[in-house]
């Protein structure tokens, strides 16, 4: 199976074909996978409904393509390398055969616990091999997995469980993160007070703790797999059957469940993985993301395994036991492709070069970044100190909703420019639109980034609420998928992603809706209302700045701040903590009551002289107070 483009000329030729004859193009690629029954049509679509179907009536199971298909030739090849949090602990290596058997065994356990095709299973686990096994076992038996990042709070989890109406939760007693250990089962227990749909909880014993287990509902992983066979026929799925739901934040309301399906997601994650990273058969590939996010789904688990690659999973954090850990792990396992987030690079930069210079990093061939715009300084540090000016950097732009990389480099085969994601992958048709929704076709321009033609791994719906999917992504501009990002296209047609143009804040590459954080802040008894904006943060990219109106101005601001932070931690999780909280007597609003976030953003960005016109405000006086009290 060779899907790789191996030169810039080949890219141009392939791209041209993919746009002129998209269906033929994807048909050629899709044919290289193993289908139980071939599809009878490549694509049917309309962006109004929206209604997008790929590889119609094809029967397939993504795990057969991740595992079974490789057994003959790659049965003894390493599928997964797991590096523990503690470097002194032994790492784990699983061959394709071993991974296959573990997935089958756990698939059988899931069935024995009453899970079947179409059932939703929430997974809330540490970054251990069992997380990947649980994900694949769900897919194998046709259950729909929904991984919830293990940093979310009980409240955030119960919202997701209830939205998905999950029948089962798979978790662990706790997890290791750097020098800390974090209880997981305790959080699950709390969440499940409000989740009547959950019938079973499977608990992996990761730390040897003895969490509270509820009789009749909870079962240990090792008991669940006891006596289970190591063969488990994959459930035959329709190409358009649900593979997973992944919750992500938008500009309004609660996070929504982005839905991906077996066929299209399979084809695109494999194709993009092989091209972006230029993975070669004996390479070792490492993506440092967590499987709780889309990057981990597509480029730790599915994309690499579909490609027969050796993929590495890391339990720990970049700074434990010291800021050289990433580089130590690269040398230890001979990593060839390394994929991380700008926020991690910036955090490590702050510790100085010495850590990275102590390792050879000879094995590295391609470096990748994802999740947020990378600033030039971080790009250069990565290029010079990690890549020794030898490794291309692929800056990959994509989203939970797109399933796979949309704009990015192709290893050494595409031009690079710091802070530019670059060119679209074959089959991807990005456009820039102006305020009126008109396509700007020339180069050297900025606009709203949209996609005008479907691609196989695009979201199909938002779970349980198709209208929300339509309104959020397809109603802004007719016949276009709207990304929520603004972008610039340079004279040569390269794209640079500027950032979100909606009310979404990207903190360390993680998305939060301002509405969601405000709701959490407002749950604190003393708060009357609040408005949240992002501001530039040296390490996190963006930090969260909250303007809060209380019944009366708090006498002890520090105590009041701590309470508000606690409310956010409880409602969402530590990852959404506001960095700055400014108490104000009112928010700048228009006469119709709309909060003027533009003004709040400028103040938070430290540019109070660029507020623009404030004369239409209901009470222009509050602006002076806000500017004066800015943090």
Which residues are registered as beta bridge partners of 168? Answer: 121, 200
To the nearest whole angstrom, how small is the minimum distance from the Cβ of residue 217 to ligand PRX?
A: 32
Residue 398 contacts ligand PRX per CB under 6 A: yes
Nearest 5°: CA angle at 130, between 195 and 223? 75
Q: Does residue 503 touch ligand PRX according to CB under 6 A?
A: no
Nearer to ligand PRX, 67 or 405 (CB): 405
CB 374 within 8 A of CB 419: yes
**Residue 394 sits in the site that holds ligand PRX (CB under 6 A):** no
Least spacing, CB of residue 113 vs ligand PRX, in Å:
31
Stretch that binds ligand PRX, among 235-243, 470-478, 483-491, 528-536 (CB under 6 A): 483-491
Residues 110-129 that bind ligand PRX (CB under 6 A): none
d(CA 342, CA 348): 10
- 140 lies in the binding site for ligand PRX (CB under 6 A): no
Cα–Cα dist 73/60, whole Å: 21
- Stretch in the footprint of ligand PRX (CB under 6 A) among 149-157, 302-310, 331-339, 369-377: 369-377
400 is a contact residue toward ligand PRX (CB under 6 A): yes
What are the backbone angles phi and psi of residue 52, rounded to the nearest 5°?
A: -125, 125
Number of residues binding to ligand PRX, judged by CB under 6 A: 23
Using the contact rule CB under 6 A, the part of the chain among 3-11, 70-78, 216-224, 389-397 near ligand PRX is: 389-397
Q: Round to whole Å and give the CA distance between 157 and 243.
A: 20
Please report the sign of the dihedral spanned by the C-alpha atoms of residue 550, residue 598, residue 471, residue 150.
negative
Strand-pairing partners, residue 412, are: none
Using CB under 6 A as the criterion, what x/- string covers residues 227-256 for binding ligand PRX? ---------------------x--------
SS3 527: strand
Query: What sign results for the dihedral spanned by CA atoms 172, 174, 175, 176?
Result: negative
Site string for ligand PRX, 184-223 (x = CB under 6 A): ----------------------------------------
The answer to the question of residue 310 lying near ligand PRX (CB under 6 A) is: no
Which residues, other chains included, contact 188 with Cβ-Cβ below 8 Å and sequence gap of 6+?
A: 124, 154, 157, 169, 171, 201
- Kindly provide the b/e burial profile for residues 580-593, where b requires at least 16 CB atoms within 10 angstroms of the residue's own CB: bbbbbebbbbeeee
399 touches ligand PRX by CB under 6 A = yes
Least Cβ distance, residue 363 to ligand PRX (angstroms): 24
Q: Would you count residue 397 as binding ligand PRX (CB under 6 A)? A: yes
Q: Is 506 in the site for ligand PRX (CB under 6 A)?
A: yes
Would the CA dihedral through 319, 320, 326, 328 be positive or negative?
positive
Asked if 494 touches ligand PRX (CB under 6 A), the answer is: no
Residues 6+ apart with CB under 8 A from 461: 259, 469
* Cis peptide upstream of residue 50 (ω within 30 degrees of 0): yes
The phi-psi region of residue 573 (left if phi > 0; otherwise alpha if psi is between -120 and 50; otherwise beta) is left
Q: Is 597 among the residues that bind ligand PRX (CB under 6 A)?
A: no
Task: Tell me which of 69, 385, 488, 511 binds ligand PRX, using CB under 6 A.
Answer: 511
Residue burial 596-611, b: 16+ Cβ < 10 Å; e: rest:
bbebbbbbbeeebeeb
- Tell me whether residue 501 or residue 618 sits nearer to ligand PRX (CB atom): 501
The residues, ordered by sequence, that sit 6+ positions from 427 with a Cβ below 8 Å of its Cβ are 18, 19, 22, 25, 26, 268, 271, 455, 456
485: contact with ligand PRX by CB under 6 A: yes
Distance of CA 318 to the CA centre of its chain: 18
CB nearer to ligand PRX: pick between 326 and 398: 398
Residue from the set 393, 421, 531, 581 that interacts with ligand PRX by CB under 6 A? 421
Question: What tokens does 443 get?
Answer: 């180069």
583 sits near ligand PRX (criterion: CB under 6 A): no
**Contact (CB, 8 A) for 422 and 414:** yes
The answer to whether residue 396 forms part of the interface with ligand PRX (CB under 6 A) is yes
Among 294, 364, 425, 451, binds ligand PRX (CB under 6 A): 294
Q: Which of 395, 503, 516, 519 binds ligand PRX (CB under 6 A)?
A: 395
Report the nearest approach of ligand PRX to the CB of residue 520 (Å): 19
| Residue choice 304, 373, 403, 422 for contact with ligand PRX (CB under 6 A) | 373
Q: Which of 64, 372, 502, 516 binds ligand PRX (CB under 6 A)?
A: 372
Query: Residue 340, interface with ligand PRX (CB under 6 A)?
Result: no
Measuring CA to CA, which residue among 128, 65, 137, 123 is closest to residue 309?
65
Among 295, 319, 336, 429, binds ligand PRX (CB under 6 A): 295
Shortest CA distance to 258 belongs to which of 372, 132, 121, 164? 164
Interacting residue with ligand PRX among 174, 292, 308, 484 (CB under 6 A): 484
371 binds ligand PRX (CB under 6 A): yes
Give the Cα separation of 298 and 303 in Å (integer).
5
Q: Does 576 bind ligand PRX (CB under 6 A)?
A: no
The footprint of ligand PRX (CB under 6 A) covers 248, 294-295, 370-373, 395-400, 421, 483-485, 497, 499-500, 506, 509, 511
């Amino acid at each position: 199976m060779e899907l790789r483009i191996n030169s810039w000329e080949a890219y141009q030729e392939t791209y041209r074909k993919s746009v002129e004859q998209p269906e033929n193009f994807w048909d050629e690629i899709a044919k290289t996978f193993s289908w139980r029954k071939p599809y009878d049509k490549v694509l049917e679509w309309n962006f109004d409904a929206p209604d997008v179907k790929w590889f119609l009536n094809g029967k397939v199971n993504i795990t057969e393509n991740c595992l079974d298909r490789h057994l003959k030739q790659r049965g003894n090849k390493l599928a997964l390398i797991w590096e523990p949090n503690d470097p002194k602990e032994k790492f784990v290596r699983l061959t394709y055969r071993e991974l296959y058997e573990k997935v089958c065994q756990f698939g059988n356990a899931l069935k024995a616990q009453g899970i079947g095709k179409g059932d939703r299973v929430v997974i809330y686990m540490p970054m251990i091999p069992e997380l990947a096994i649980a994900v694949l076992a769900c897919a194998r038996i046709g259950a729909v997995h929904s991984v919830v990042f293990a940093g979310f709070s009980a409240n955030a989890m119960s919202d997701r469980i209830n939205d998905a109406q999950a029948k089962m939760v798979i978790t662990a007693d706790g997890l290791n993160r750097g020098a800390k250990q974090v209880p997981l089962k305790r959080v699950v227990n709390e969440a499940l007070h409000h989740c009547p749909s959950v019938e079973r909880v499977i608990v992996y014993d990761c730390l040897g703790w003895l969490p509270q287990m509820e009789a009749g509902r909870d079962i240990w992983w090792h008991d669940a797999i006891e006596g289970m066979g190591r063969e488990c026929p994959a459930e035959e799925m329709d190409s358009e059957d649900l593979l997973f739901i992944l919750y992500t934040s938008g500009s309004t309301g609660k996070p929504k469940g982005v839905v991906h399906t077996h066929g299209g997601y399979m084809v695109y994650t494999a194709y993009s993985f092989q091209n972006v990273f230029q993975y070669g058969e004996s390479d070792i590939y490492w993506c440092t993301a967590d499987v709780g996010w889309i990057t981990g789904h597509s480029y730790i688990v599915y994309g690499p395994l579909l490609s027969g690659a050796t993929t590495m999973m890391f339990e720990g954090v970049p700074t434990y036991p010291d800021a050289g850990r990433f580089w130590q792990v690269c040398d230890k396992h001979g990593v060839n492709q390394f994929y991380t987030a700008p926020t991690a690079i910036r955090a490590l930069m702050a510790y100085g070069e010495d850590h990275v210079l102590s390792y050879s990093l000879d094995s590295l061939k391609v470096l990748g970044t994802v999740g947020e715009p990378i600033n030039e300084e971080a790009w250069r540090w990565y290029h010079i100190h990690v890549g020794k000016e030898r490794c291309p950097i692929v800056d990959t732009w994509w989203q939970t909703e797109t399933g796979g990389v949309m704009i990015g480099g192709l290893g050494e085969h595409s031009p690079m420019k710091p802070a530019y994601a670059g060119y679209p992958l074959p089959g991807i048709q990005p456009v820039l639109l102006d305020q009126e929704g008109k396509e700007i076709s020339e180069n050297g321009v900025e606009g709203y980034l949209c996609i005008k033609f479907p691609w196989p791994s695009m979201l199909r719906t938002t779970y349980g609420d198709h209208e929300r999917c339509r309104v959020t992504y397809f109603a802004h501009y007719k016949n276009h998928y709207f990304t929520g990002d603004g972008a610039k296209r340079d004279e040569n047609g390269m794209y640079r992603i500027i950032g979100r143009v909606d009310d979404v804040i990207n903190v360390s590459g993680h998305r939060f809706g301002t509405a969601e954080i405000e709701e959490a802040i407002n749950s604190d008894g003393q708060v009357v209302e609040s408005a949240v904006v992002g501001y530039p943060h040296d390490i996190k990219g963006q930090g969260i700045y909250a303007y809060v109106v209380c019944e009366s101005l708090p006498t002890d601001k520090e105590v009041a701040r701590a309470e508000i932070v606690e409310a956010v931690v409880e409602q969402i999780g530590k990852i959404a903590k506001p960095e700055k909280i400014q108490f104000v007597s009112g928010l700048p609003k228009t006469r119709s009551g709309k909060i003027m976030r533009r003004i709040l953003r400028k103040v938070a960005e430290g540019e109070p002289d660029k507020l623009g016109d404030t004369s239409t405000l209901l009470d222009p006086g509050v602006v002076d107070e806000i500017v004066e009290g800015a943090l």
